[in-house]
Chain A
Amino acid sequence: MMIRTEPVVINMGPQHPSTHGVFRMRVTLDGEVIIDMEPVFGYLHRGIEKLAESRTYTQFIPMTDRLDYLASMSNNLGYVLAVEKLAGISVPPRAEYLRVIMAEMMRISSHLMAVGFFINDCGALATPLLYMYREREKLLDLFEMVCGQRLTYNYMRFGGVSHDVPPEFLPALKRFVAEMPGFIDEYDQLLAENEILLVRAQGVGILPRELALNASVSGPVARASGIEWDIRRADPYLVYDKFDFDIPTGTVGDCYDRYRVRILEMRQSLRILVQAIEQLPEGPVRSEVPHLVRPPEGEAYGHIEAPKGELGFYLVSDGSIAPYRCHIRAPSFINMTTLRDMVLGWKLADAIIIFGSIDIVLGEVDR
Chain B
Amino acid sequence: MMDWLHWAIFTGIILVFVLVMVMVLIMIERRGIARFQLRPGPNRVGPFGALQPVADAIKVLTKEDIIPSAGDKWVHWMAPVIVFVPAFMIFAVVPFQKGAILADLNIGILYIIAISSVGVVGVFMAGWGSNNKYSLIGAMRAVAQMVSYEIPLVLSIVGVVLAAGALSMTTIVENQSIPYILLQPLGFLIFFLGSSAELNRTPFDLLEAESEIVAGYHTEYSGMKFALFYLGEYAHALAVAAVTTVLFLGGWKLPWGIISDFPVAFIWFMAKMVAVFLLFLWVRATIPRLRVDQVMAFAWKGLFPLALANMFIIAVEVLIWPNTPWPLILVNFAAAGVLIVIWSRFFHTGGGRVEV
Q: Which residues of A are interface residues toward B (Cβ below 8 A)?
A: 8, 10, 16-18, 32-35, 119-127, 130-131, 134, 190, 194, 196-197, 199-200, 203, 344-350, 352
CB distance from B95 to the nearest CB of A (A): 34
- Could you tell me if B37 and A349 are in contact, using CB atoms closer than 8 angstroms? no
Whether B202 lies near A345 (C-beta < 8 A) is no
Contact B38 A125 (CB under 8 A): no
A344: chain B residues within 8 A (beta carbon): 356
Q: Given A35-B356, A134-B38, is A200 in contact with B212 using a C-beta cutoff of 8 Å?
A: no
**Residue B293 CB within 8 A of the other chain:** yes
In the assembled complex, the Cα of A153 lies from the Cα of B293 at a distance in Å of 45
- Which residues of chain B are within 8 angstroms of A199 by Cβ–Cβ distance? 290, 294, 349
**Nearest chain B CB to A61's CB is how many angstroms away?**
36
- B288 contacts A347, C-beta separation under 8 Å: no
CA distance A196 to B202 in the complex (A): 11
Q: List 28 A-B contacts (CB under 8 A).
A: A17-B211, A32-B292, A32-B293, A119-B288, A120-B211, A123-B209, A124-B202, A125-B33, A125-B202, A127-B33, A127-B37, A127-B285, A130-B38, A130-B39, A190-B286, A194-B287, A196-B287, A196-B289, A196-B290, A199-B294, A199-B349, A203-B352, A344-B356, A345-B353, A345-B356, A349-B206, A349-B291, A349-B292
A-B pairs with the 6 shortest C-beta distances?
Answer: A123-B289, A18-B211, A122-B288, A124-B288, A345-B353, A123-B288
- B133 beta carbon closer than 8 Å to chain A: yes
Q: Which residues of B contact A125 (CB under 8 A)?
A: 33, 202, 284-285
A207 to chain B, nearest CB (A): 13
* B211 to A: closest C-beta gap in Å: 4
Q: Considering only CB atoms and an 8 Å cut-off, how many residues of chain B contact the other chain?
A: 35
- The interface residues of chain B lying within 8 Å CB-to-CB of A134 are 38
Write the chain A residue with the least CB distance to B286: A127
In the complex, are the beta carbons of B294 and A200 less than 8 A apart? yes
> Which chain A residue lies CB-closest to B33?
A125
Q: How far is the CB of B139 from chain A (nearest CB, A)?
A: 13
A237–chain B nearest beta-carbon distance, Å: 37
Q: Is B212 within 8 A of A18, CB to CB?
A: yes
Q: Is residue B3 within 8 Å, beta carbon to beta carbon, of the partner chain? A: no
Query: What's the minimum C-beta distance from B193 to chain A, rounded to whole angstroms?
Result: 12
The complex places the Cα of A16 from the Cα of B215 at a distance, in Å, of 11
Given A122-B288, A349-B209, 12 additional A-B pairs, CB 8 A: A17-B210, A17-B211, A123-B202, A123-B211, A125-B33, A127-B286, A190-B286, A197-B288, A346-B353, A348-B213, A349-B212, A352-B212
- When C-beta atoms are compared, the residue in chain A nearest to B206 turns out to be A349
Contacts of A196 on B, CB cut-off 8 Å?
203, 287-290
B292: chain A residues within 8 A (beta carbon): 32, 347, 349
Chain B residues, Cβ within 8 Å of A131: 37-38
Q: Is the CB of B356 within 8 A of A123?
A: no
B354 at the interface (CB under 8 A from A): yes
How far does the alpha carbon of A200 sit from the alpha carbon of B297 in the complex, in Å?
13
CB-defined contacts of B294 to chain A, threshold 8 Å = 199-200
Residues from chain A with a CB closer than 8 A to the CB of B285 are 125, 127
Q: Report Cα–Cα, A237/B353, bound state, in Å.
A: 41
Determine the distance from Cα of A182 to Cα of B286 in the docked complex, in whole angstroms.
19
Cα distance, A316 to B33, chains bound together (Å): 54
Contacts of B37 in A (CB 8 A): 126-127, 130-131
- Nearest A residue to B203 by beta-carbon distance? A196
Residues of B within 8 A of A122 (CB): 288-289
